[in-house]
Amino acid sequence: MSWQWFHRLGSPRWFYQTSTRWLPLLALIAAAVLISGLVWGLAIAPADAKQGNSFRIIYIHVPASFLALAGYYIMAIAGAVGLIWKMKLSYMVMKSAAPIGAALTFIALLTGAIWGKPTWGTYWVWDARITSMLILLFLYLGVMALQYAYHSIDAASKAGAILALVGTVNIPIIYKSVDWWYTLHQPATIKFTSAPSMHIDMFLPLLVMIIGFYLFYAVALILHTRSEILRRERKTAWVRELIEPEARS
Amino acid sequence: MAHSINSGYSAWLKRDLLLAYRRRGEAASSLIFFVMVSTLIPLGLTPESAQLAEIAAGMIWVMALLATLLSVDGLFASDYQDGSLEQLLITPQLLPMPVLGKITAHWLTTGLPLTLASPLLGLMLSLPTAGYLPMLCSLALGTACLSLTGAVGAALTVSLRKGGLLLSLLVIPLYMPVIIFGTATVTYAIDGRLTGCHRWPYSGRYLPPL
């Protein structure tokens, strides 16, 4: 009996119905936190002594990078759960996490490039962190491409999960090796020199933004998973019941 | 039990080597690719040996990676088509050993010839003398890593019709540490900073085919 919640978690129908109840509230909180963090960070927080106002992009850049990496682990864990317990729902979560994570990685790279222009004087530097983020984007794209390549949903899920897990094993190696590679090369002449520790007035809005991005990620993931549930379960009775009355009226 | 595990390994190794020997043209093509692409580099960049020497190590590594990538596509393909992969899956034998045998055969037929041919390319791209031995060692180890990692991608894409391009998308990000370590070893040696102890944390991974 005590495992009932766990089995329930694996039911797409249960997830769909529960999330219908909770999603509006969650979305509201996410929007509130994001907006307050943005206003605080972009308008109220003091300007940086060296970089002026251009540093404010940090309030997008850092949370996006955080979630880009965390999202990969979320995707891999969902894949592992699917492989181990053969849970349909977790495969759907895995598939939904890939495009969201890829988008966040892209945002992190893009904001980094935009930020790099005024600070470093160039859009792109072969810096260890930037390179690892680029590789992370490739890993995401690989998982997505593999998912789309299979016709059978079952095979696509399994293959995607295995690839995600292999990628997880590799992420520390990639990060380490890129770090090592970077120390081999001449260090960049233009270096990002910010104050070693952020001022508390700058840090607090960043914290709010990170929490806001986590909430936003949860909302996006749930929304994406819900549409995936509808797509995959479109032949079941409960989805038809859900769709049909609206179609008739 | 130990005997049957080992026999699975050597039986598949022998079988794949024999198959490769009977299809020598196929096996040679990745080697020929390796050599041919290297002639593009002086044509595309510069024929001056001083400049070539600087990029030789990295270029040889990039070409070795691409050549392996092209060949790893066929690792499971013919076995999948003729059904022997399915036969392997339904035997009571443990899966890892036969697959490891196949990967070893793949390395012996692609990675090893590439490694042995690399001094020739080093000569053509005027690689500094100090770089030859490290390049041989790093390529021998590195191509084995590439075969192992590529096997994961090959296993995942074997049932797809256009798996080859997808395979490279999946595997290239995973190959990046290998090329970093490989090129670094050679560059270190040329600069005279080789400490002799180079980590290869990338070895020894593989997944059975789906």
Put simply, the answer to whether B180 touches A180 (Cβ < 8 Å) is yes
**Given an 8 Å threshold on Cβ–Cβ distance, is A145 in contact with B159?**
no
Contacts of A161 in chain B (CB under 8 A): none
Residue A25 lies in a domain: no
Q: Rounded to a whole number, what is the distance in Å from the CA of B176 to chain A's nearest CA?
A: 7
- pLDDT higher than 90, residue A107: yes
CA atoms of A220 and A187, how far apart (whole Å): 38
Q: Is B70 on the interface with A (CB under 8 A)?
A: no
Q: Best mutation site among A83, A177, A180 for testing chain B: the one with the most B CBs within 10 Å?
A: A177
Tell if the CB–CB gap between A178 and B180 is shorter than 8 Å: yes
Tell me which DSSP letter residue A3 carries: T
Cβ–Cβ below 8 Å for B210 and A159: yes
DSSP letter string over B93-144?
Answer: S-SHHHHHHHHHHHIIIIIHHHHHHHHHHHHHTT--GGGHHHHHHHHHHHHH
Q: Which residues of A are less than 8 Å from B162 in CB distance?
A: 149
Measured CA to CA, the distance from residue A34 to residue A212 in angstroms comes to 5
Biggest alpha carbon–alpha carbon distance for chain B: 59
Per the domain annotation, does A76 fall within a domain? yes
- pLDDT tens track for A24-73: 999 999 999 999 998 988 888 777 767 777 788 888 998 998 899 899 99
* Mean pLDDT of all residues in A191-213: 73
Residue A186 has pLDDT above 80, yes or no: no
Sort out which chain B residues have CB atoms less than 8 A from A176's CB and list them.
177, 201
Residue A214 located in a structural domain: yes
The beta-carbon neighbor of A162 closest among B172, B180, B207 is B207
Structural domain contains residue A61: yes
* A104 pLDDT more than 90: yes
Q: What are phi and psi of A86, to 5 degrees?
A: 55, 45
Number of structural domains chain A divides into: 1
Strand partners, A48: A52
H helix intervals, chain B: 2-22, 24-44, 49-72, 77-82, 84-90, 96-106, 112-124, 132-157, 163-190
Between the CA of residue B65 and those of A66, B68, B69, B114, B183, what are the distances in Å? 31, 5, 6, 10, 11
B172 vs A contacts (CB less than 8 Å): 138
Average pLDDT taken over every residue of chain A = 83
End-to-end CA distance of chain B: 24
Measure in Å the smallest separation between the Cα of A180 and chain B Cα atoms: 9
Residue A49 lies in a domain: no
pLDDT, position B153? 85
**Residue at A140 is within a domain:** yes
Please enumerate in sequence order all residues whose Cβ is within 8 A of that of A244, keeping only pairs 6 or more positions apart, or say none. Answer: none
**Within a domain: residue A239?**
yes
Domain that holds residue A85: 34-40+56-248
pLDDT tens-digit readout, A113-165? 888 888 778 888 787 778 888 989 999 999 999 888 888 888 888 888 988 98
pLDDT for the residue A137:
93
pLDDT higher than threshold 90 for residue B9:
no
Most confident of A168-177, B105-114, B178-187: B105-114
Residue A51 in any domain: the answer is no
